[in-house]
Structures are given as structure tokens and as C-alpha cells.
Amino acid sequence: PTWIAPVQVVVMNITDSQSDYVQQLTKKLQDAGIRVKADLRNEKIGFKIREHTLRRVPYMLVCGDKEVEAGKVAVRTRRGKDLGSLDVNEVVDKLLKEIRSRSLHQLEE
């Protein structure tokens, strides 16, 4: 479950041009009390997603150029479900609600 995971969210970029956005988003999530890590490595996005899925990170937030322009983030679950692009504040609110209520898969609803 998300509330017990050591790392609740990983924020990752597709190319170096999204690095600043990833760092801003990571700070926003940390300030909200969410255990988050940024993955800014120069690896293919599929590799990063697979690696964090194997590490059982509940949510992965992917930031590409479209997400940066729109102020959104693409959300993926550990189980491989793609939740599409969501507003950053909506993601933070849903994550906090899921963590505080100790429920499962709040973002998927």
C-alpha cells in the first residue's frame, strides 16, 4: 500500500529539458509530506518505469514536454495502469487522501 511504502512516488523526466520541472514537482510533493524521489538519470523512460515497478514504488509520475507545458503529469501505477495526464494539484490531493485514509488506489478512482 502507498501509505506504508518507503518511497511512495518517483518523479521522472523523459529528457534533460524537464529536469527543472521534475525538481519543482518533487519539492512540492516533499513539502506536502509525501515520500518522493526524483529520477533524473539519462536512461530510457521504459527502463526507468520497469526499474521502479520492480522496486514496487506505488506511483510513478512521468514528465515530458507536453506535461511541462500544460502543468500536468502523466501518472502510472506499480501494476502498470496508465492513468493519463492529471493536474499536479489533483495528484497531490489524491495521494494525500490515499495516504491519510490508508486506502488503496485512490488515484485510480
Q: What is the pLDDT of residue 104?
A: 62
Domain assignment present for residue 47? The answer is: yes
Domain assignment present for residue 79? The answer is: yes
Cα–Cα distance measured from residue 5 to residue 44, given in angstroms and rounded to the nearest whole number: 25
Q: Along the chain (109 residues), what's the average pLDDT of each consecutive run of 10 residues?
A: 93 96 97 97 96 96 96 93 94 92 64
Cα–Cα distance measured from residue 61 to residue 71, given in angstroms and rounded to the nearest whole number: 13
Per the structure, the complete domain to which residue 21 belongs is given by 2-104
Domain assignment present for residue 90? The answer is: yes
Domain assignment present for residue 89? The answer is: yes
Domain assignment present for residue 109? The answer is: no
103, three cell numbers: 486506502
How many domains does one find in the chain? 1
SS3 content of the chain, % helix, strand, coil (to 5): 50, 25, 30
User: What CATH number does the domain containing 84 carry?
Assistant: 3.40.50.800
A 10 A CB-CB count for 60 gives 23
- The pTM of the full predicted model, rounded to 2 decimals, is 0.89
